[in-house]
Every structure is written in C-alpha cells, then in structure tokens.
Chain A
Amino acid sequence: MKTDTVTANTTLKLPDLDKVLDALGAWVLAIVWISPLLFAAWAALQPSGTVLGLDFSNPLTFENFVYVWGAVPWGGYFTNTVILVTLILAGQLVLCTLAGFAFARFEFKGRDTVFILVLLQLFILPEVLIVENYAIVSKLGLFDTALGIGLPYMASAFGIFLLRQAFKSVPIELEEAARIEGCSWMGVLWKVYVPAAKPVYLAYALVSIATHWNNFLWPLIVTNSPETRPLTVGLSLFGAPETGVDISVISAATIMTIAPLLMAFLIFQRQFIQAFLRAGIR
C-alpha cells in the first residue's frame, strides 16, 4: 500500500494540469450554454426601447413584465397548458399501463407482430402526420379543444415500451403471491405491478410533462382561440419579429413562459435528470 501513495504523489503534477483544463473547459462551455438565457433575463429587465448595448448602467425595471402581462391573456394560456399537460399525462398513464401490462404478461396470438407495429409508431411521428390528423380531429368535432390537441399523443408507443420493460422485470413470484391471496388480474396490476414500476412512472411523467409543455406545431394547427391556445402558441404569436415588439418585451414574455418549468427543473434537478436518464435507457 505504501508504494501506492508514493506513485500517487509523484504523478500528482500531471493529472492536476489535466484536471484544471477539464474544469476550465467545462465551465466555459457551461457559461456559453446558459448565456442566451442569462442575456434574455438581463434584457427583460432593461427599459423597453433602449438600445441594448452591453451597457450595465441602465437601472433594472420590471415594466416589461407588467406590460406583457397586460397585453396578452397569459393567465389563460397558462391554465390551458396545465390542463393540456394533465389531460395528456392522465390518458397516457391509463392507456400505456394497460397496454404495457398486456404486452408484458399475457400471451396472445399476434402479440409480437402487434408490438412491432407499436414500436413502428416511434418513427411515424404525430408531427409528420399533421395534414391527416387535422382532418381527423376536425371530423371528430374536436378542433380547438384540449382533447383535440391531446388525443393523438395518448397512446404513446414510448410509454407502452417503457412500462412493458418495467413490468417484465417484476419477479413473477410477487404476482403469484398476490394471486394466492385472491387478487384478480386488475388487483395484481394495481397492487403489484404499478407500485413496482413507480420510478419508471415518475420518469415517464416528467418527460411527458416537459415534452407537452413545450410542444408547438400541433397545438398551433388545431387551436384558433385564446380559450384553448397553450403558452407556446401564445408566445409565438406575440414574439414574431414583424409585430415590431422590441427585444426587451419579447425577452420578458419568453422568461414568463419558461419560468414555471424552469423553476420546477431547478428545484427538482436531480429527479429531472434521473428521469430523463431512466427514460432513455432501453
């Protein structure tokens, strides 16, 4: 053991330089990476109409936020987004749990073929099918409703896949024990499988919330009123450069839009990153 410490001491110099360079590189990249956000936060606090020289002498002001809040029904957009995200998540949890359970624990003819079809949906993006999905949603009378925005995302292939994996890793003995105590299939699902997959549910929920909070193209197409429009669509209508709104005001609107999710992220950082990690491993 003694020789170990000696070698460690003699080679101390070289890895140190490496480490310093590593840290330096990592920090510089980190600062570059969040600089757009920092600049926007700073710009949002500048008096509107001032030339945005990198001039730090101007007094900071909240007038942009006050103006933006008054100019657009943000409260409504915010509520719409929350309703939309909740609705999609609820639908996904129910549908994907049932389907994931079916694919994990039941044998039926054609199961594997159907499962490959499900996986294929990972590649048939809802975003690409906008033309036809728009027609379908309109025919169902769901144009400009939260359900119309949410329905195409509820049977998520990704969710089914994740939960199937999670359910498959549950030891069959647990299920048999519950069976002996007289649980029905639904009882087994609810009392054994769902609790065992809790971390996967959390991970999937966070990913789903972040995805649909940020989704834009599809909601843009199937909404046309402030009563259903989510935040992203509201922001795009507000922030278009040709409206002549200046950059301080756009920054304030942007900061307001991203603030809730950003704050949630900063508070639950660890869980968020863990969630994305878990959802990504397959």
Chain B
Amino acid sequence: MNEMARLQKRRLALYGWMLAAPALALMSLFAFYPAIATFWHSLFSRGTSRRPSVFAGFENYGDLFADPTFWTVATNNLIYAGVTIPVSIIFALVMALWANAHIPARSFVRSAYFTPTILPMIAAANLWLFFYTPDLGVIDQITGFFGASPTNWLGQPETALASVIIVTIWKEAGFFMIFYLAALQTIPPDLHEAARIEGAGRWTYTRRVLLPLLMPTTIFVFVNAMINSVKLIDHLFILTKGGPNNASKLILYWIWEMAFAYFDSPHAAAMTILVLLALGLVAVAQFRLVEKRTHYR
C-alpha cells in the first residue's frame, strides 16, 4: 500500500513537470538564457571585420560610466520615473474616486479616462503631435490667442522631456484608475457612513480611512508604474527621437539606438544588465513587501 502511494506521488510529480515543461522551456529560451547571455556578451569588446571581439572584462561598463550620454540618459529616466509615477498615481486615484461617485454620465466619464489605455503608444504620440506642433498645434493656438509666441515644445531641450512625460501620464493614469476602482468597490459603504456619524469630514475620511485601505493597491500600481517607466518609450520614436541633443532620451530607447542604429551591441548589453539589476531590486523589494503582508494576514 505504502509502495503504491509512493509510486502515485512520483507519477504526479512527473505529470506536474511535464505540464509545466513547455512554458518553462520557452521562458528559459526568451528570458533566462538571454539575461545570462546578455551579461556574458557585455564582457566582450565590439568585434569588427578586422578585429574579432575579445574578452574585455568590465571595460564596457567603464565606457558607459565615462560617457556623458549615459549620465544624461540615466538622469532623464530618473526624472521620467520621478514625475510620471506619482503624478499618474494621483490622477488615477482622483479618477477612481470620481468614476466611483454617483454622478451623472458616470459611464461616459469612466470610458473617457480609460480610453488612452487601449491605444497604442505610437498612436498616442501621433495624437499629441497635434497638440505640440509649433505654431499650428493646439497648445500654441491657445497660448497664441493670449499673445504668447509659438513654442517648439518638442524641439527645445527645456520642454522636450516634459512633453514626453505628459503623454505617458495621459496614457497610463486611466489604466491605474481601474485598479483603484476595483479596490474601492470592495470597501463597504458602512465605513463611510460610520465615519460621517463620527463627524469625520471628507478629507479626513479620505486620508484616514480610504488611503490606508488602498495601500496594497498603491503598492501594486507603484511597482507597475516603475516597470512602465522603463518600458514606455514607444512615443519617443514619433515625438522626439530622444532629442534635441539627448534631452529627452530614455534608457530603453538608448539601448535600442546603440544596438540597432549604431550596431554596438556590447555596450547595449552592458546597459541592459544595469537595467536588469535595477528591475531585480524592484522585484526583491516587492516580494519582500508582499511577504510581509501575507505574514500580517
């Protein structure tokens, strides 16, 4: 009997592996192996037809740190993350509160907020081109009406990154709203009633009751926003191409440029590894947080 149970257990384990195998194989091929291969290749110099690539240790990383473009791009991306993350989260929260309130035409409001989410980033960029075009664009038409001179929003270093940031916020706020909306719907209405009876004003209720209850959602959204601040770069291809003079260039765009425009894959690989390290830190931090929460429960 014991023997049979053991056999059965073994068979189940085998089934489990077999079922998971196809997905694990593909995942290894397109995520784990390339991550390791990228690291390996980042240790070699760039080969040309006359000089084959040779082992260079961490030289490529040294080159990156010595390159002023690296610092510009890294700073840009930090600003990009530092602005898009909190601002989209605040917009998302406000949108969710409104889309959850009893107001007329609520479903229209909800859809309006959500619509940018289902548009390709490339299309979003084209739509915004219409706003940013100097002189003819909507923004200049409006400011021009008040006598301001036309501005080349995408073409000058002072405003290019900001213009890119606005498009990202527009694109992702409605997406994050959905998660807050879901969380709000799980909060019992009695809570609001109770707070009101206790004499808590709206602001107090939001700050003392709603925000703490929404904390898990905020963490989830925050992690997503962090990943997005690396991932969302498609609009650069349309709006600025990272220019002028790298003023709006972000890391992933730069990786693409190094690898596929300048054919310098060793440096692109080194940059990729730095991004993976950063993402890895985010992953570890999130797992820690989630673990804490489950312990708490």
Interface size on A, residues (CB 8 A): 97
Interface check A166, CB cutoff 8 A = no
Interface residue from B9, B112, B133, B237 paired with A33 (Cβ < 8 Å): B112
Interface check A86, CB cutoff 8 A = no
Which of A59-67, A124-132, A194-202 has 4 or more CB atoms under 8 Å from chain B?
A: A124-132
- B252 neighbours in A (Cβ, 8 Å): 127-128, 217
Q: What are the interface flags for A144-165 relative to B under an 8 Å C-beta threshold, 1 for contact and 0 otherwise?
A: 0000000110110100100000
Interface check B90, CB cutoff 8 A = no
Is there an interface contact between A53 and B141, defined as CB atoms closer than 8 Å? yes
Is there an interface contact between B238 and A240, defined as CB atoms closer than 8 Å? yes
Is there an interface contact between B13 and A109, defined as CB atoms closer than 8 Å? yes
Interface check A251, CB cutoff 8 A = yes
Interface check B234, CB cutoff 8 A = yes
Is there an interface contact between B115 and A106, defined as CB atoms closer than 8 Å? no
- Does more than half of chain A's interface fall in helix, strand or loop, or is it mixed? helix
- B179 neighbours in A (Cβ, 8 Å): 277, 280-281
Most buried by A among B27, B94, B108, B131: B27
- B117 neighbours in A (Cβ, 8 Å): 210, 276
Which of B64-72, B77-85, B99-107 has 4 or more CB atoms under 8 Å from chain A?
A: B99-107
Interface check A40, CB cutoff 8 A = yes
Is there an interface contact between A257 and B120, defined as CB atoms closer than 8 Å? yes
- B20 neighbours in A (Cβ, 8 Å): 98-99, 102-103, 114
Is there an interface contact between B34 and A132, defined as CB atoms closer than 8 Å? yes
Which of B45-53, B204-212, B278-286 has 4 or more CB atoms under 8 Å from chain A?
A: B278-286
- A235 neighbours in B (Cβ, 8 Å): 120, 122-123, 126
Is there an interface contact between A29 and B113, defined as CB atoms closer than 8 Å? yes
Interface check A27, CB cutoff 8 A = yes
Most buried by A among B32, B34, B37, B255: B34
In the bound assembly, the distance between CA atoms of A19 and B238 in angstroms comes to 41
Q: What are the interface flags for A223-242 relative to B under an 8 Å C-beta threshold, 1 for contact and 0 otherwise?
A: 00000000110011001110
Interface residue from A30, A99, A231 paired with B19 (Cβ < 8 Å): A99
Is there an interface contact between B119 and A102, defined as CB atoms closer than 8 Å? no
Chain A residue nearest to B145 in the complex (CB): A54
Which of B55-63, B157-165, B265-273 has 4 or more CB atoms under 8 Å from chain A?
A: B265-273
Is there an interface contact between A123 and B282, defined as CB atoms closer than 8 Å? yes
Question: Taking A214-B119, A247-B136 as contacts, is the C-beta distance between A132 and B111 under 8 angstroms?
Answer: no
Interface check A90, CB cutoff 8 A = no
| A280 vs chain B, min Cβ distance (A) | 5
In the bound assembly, the distance between CA atoms of A241 and B35 in angstroms comes to 35
| B15 vs chain A, min Cβ distance (A) | 6
- A176 neighbours in B (Cβ, 8 Å): none
| A76 vs chain B, min Cβ distance (A) | 17
Most buried by B among A114, A132, A235, A236: A132
| B11 vs chain A, min Cβ distance (A) | 10
- B106 neighbours in A (Cβ, 8 Å): 26
Question: Taking A39-B131, A98-B19 as contacts, is the C-beta distance between A131 and B98 under 8 angstroms?
Answer: no
Nearest 8 pairs of A and B residues by beta carbon: A106-B16, A132-B34, A214-B120, A30-B112, A102-B19, A99-B23, A155-B26, A108-B13
Query: Can you name 20 A-B residue pairings with CB atoms under 8 Å?
Result: A22-B98, A26-B109, A29-B109, A31-B112, A33-B116, A52-B130, A95-B22, A95-B26, A98-B20, A108-B16, A108-B17, A117-B32, A125-B227, A127-B230, A132-B35, A135-B37, A155-B31, A217-B234, A240-B237, A257-B123
> Could you list which residues of chain A lie within 8 angstroms of chain B, going by C-beta atoms?
18-19, 22-23, 25-27, 29-31, 33-34, 36-37, 39-40, 43, 51-54, 94-96, 98-99, 101-103, 106-109, 111, 114, 116-136, 151-152, 154-155, 157, 160, 185, 210, 213-217, 220-221, 231-232, 235-236, 239-241, 247, 250-251, 253-254, 257-258, 261-262, 265-266, 269, 272-273, 276-277, 280-282
Other A-B contacts than A123-B279, A128-B255, A152-B30, 9 sampled, CB-CB below 8 A, are A29-B94, A36-B170, A155-B22, A160-B23, A214-B122, A236-B238, A250-B129, A251-B130, A272-B114
